[in-house]
Amino acid sequence: MNRMRVRAVARKELFHLRRDPRSLGMAIAIPMLMLLLFGYALTLDVDRVPIAVWDQSGTPASRELISRFEGSRYFHVRLRAAGYRGIEGAIEEGSVLAALVVPREFASNLSAGRGASVQFLLDGSDSNTATIALGYAEAVVRGYSRDVAMRAAGVPAQGVLHEPLEVRPRVWFNADLESKNYIVPGLIAVIMMVIAAMLTSLTVAREWEQGTMEQLLSTPVTPSEMILGKLLPYFALGMLDVVIAVGMGEFLFQVPLRGSPALLFGMAAVFLAGALSLGMLISIVTRSQLLATQMAMVLTFLPSFLLSGFVFAIGNMPGAIRAVTYVIPSRYLVSILKGIYLKGIGLSVLWGEAMLLAGFGVTVVLLANRKFQRKLA
């Protein structure tokens, strides 16, 4: 492989980027825009759940229970209802997600030592949010029930009621349970896959459509040198996108980077080489810029977003879908980035994902080179 010829092809691609500043600007602006949109808009944190309250009891006991919900950071009492009709209308129009109904005999049952119950109605349209809100509500009611039991047992406010079982939770790696801390690292992987494939998916197809491929073929440049020369400028641009994304995660979203930055950029470079080669392969196969762009979007964004573990846990997917995720390269980079960001682990733990990522890069590079040689034959 001749370095001079590779450098000449790389310079040609650089000149094309300079002549098309809009593409260059989009290559830098799209990752920033995606990080801003997903980083702020995509959150799985559930708090300030809007609820309605119907207090049929109207007693100090029922007001104390309602005050527990009002004082919780997870609930916001938006409506004081006067019946089921008002609750139903509020849930249907989406102004509240849930409703707490305190029955008329609530206080009398408590004072008599009988079991007292309350009703908690939920909008199950969003099952994930409803499940989390139900857990919050049960925790508030348990706390209230424990205090009632302490008063009934004659335990003073400053006393201690020893329970037979106590849970002392301790959360590792993401102590505040903030969704942005694992969304942003996964988002970096998705952005890299999409941008890299779309950058190079137009390179060879553009040469065919503009009629310049014949001129390139008349030069001594070999297919391997042409592919490498075309990849180098976009590799540098892709690494610049990685630097921007990591910087935004660190300084804008305050996502902790506990692991090695060198390992992060090293794994990103390996992944980027494979993703760029995948875009090159798409460009070689299609020979059409429009078709190449469409295929790049279908083959990169959708699998990376849905099947990489970026948002949806792979372990919860059906068996057939889990098997498909093993051929999605973003899956391995998402795992690596989350391990580096949140757990601070290195290759001693991540070596399996790193090897699979390297295998993906080598395989796609070889496929692109072979396919290009066949196209020219």
* pLDDT on residue 25: 78
What is the predicted pLDDT for the residue at 357?
92
| Residue with the two structure tokens 């209308």 | 89
Give dist(CA 301, CA 328) in Å, integer: 11
φ, ψ (nearest 5 deg) of residue 134? -65, -40
Q: Which residues pair with 121 in a beta bridge?
A: 99
Answer left, alpha or beta for residue 287, where phi above 0 means left and psi between -120 and 50 means alpha. left
Residue 4 makes CB contacts below 8 A (sequence gap 6+) with none
Ranges of each domain in the chain: 3-43+178-376, 49-152
Tens-digit pLDDT string for the chain (377 aa): 778 888 888 888 888 777 777 777 777 888 888 888 887 777 777 788 999 999 999 999 999 999 999 998 899 999 999 999 999 999 988 899 999 999 999 988 888 777 788 999 999 887 778 888 999 999 999 889 888 877 777 655 555 555 566 667 777 888 777 888 888 888 888 888 888 877 787 777 777 777 777 677 677 778 788 888 888 888 988 899 999 999 998 898 888 899 999 999 999 999 999 988 888 888 888 877 778 888 888 888 888 888 888 878 888 889 899 999 999 999 999 999 999 998 999 999 999 999 999 999 899 988 888 887 776 65
Bridge-partner residues for 54, per DSSP?
101
Q: For residue 316, which phi and psi values (nearest 5 degrees)?
A: -90, -5
Tell me the CATH architecture of domain 49-152.
Answer: 3-Layer(aba) Sandwich (3.40)
Residue pair 23/31 in contact (Cβ under 8 Å)? The answer is no
Nearest residue to 32 (alpha-carbon basis) of 160, 188, 211: 188
Task: Find residue 119's DSSP bridge partners.
Answer: 101
pLDDT of residue 110: 84
Give the pLDDT confidence score for residue 115 in this predicted structure.
77
Question: What are the tens digits of pLDDT across the range 83-110?
Answer: 999 999 999 888 999 999 999 999 888 8
Place of tokens 């072979």: 370
**pLDDT for res 55:** 93
The model scores a pTM over 0.85: no
CA separation for the pair 117, 130 (Å, rounded): 20
Q: According to the model, what pLDDT value does residue 195 have?
A: 82
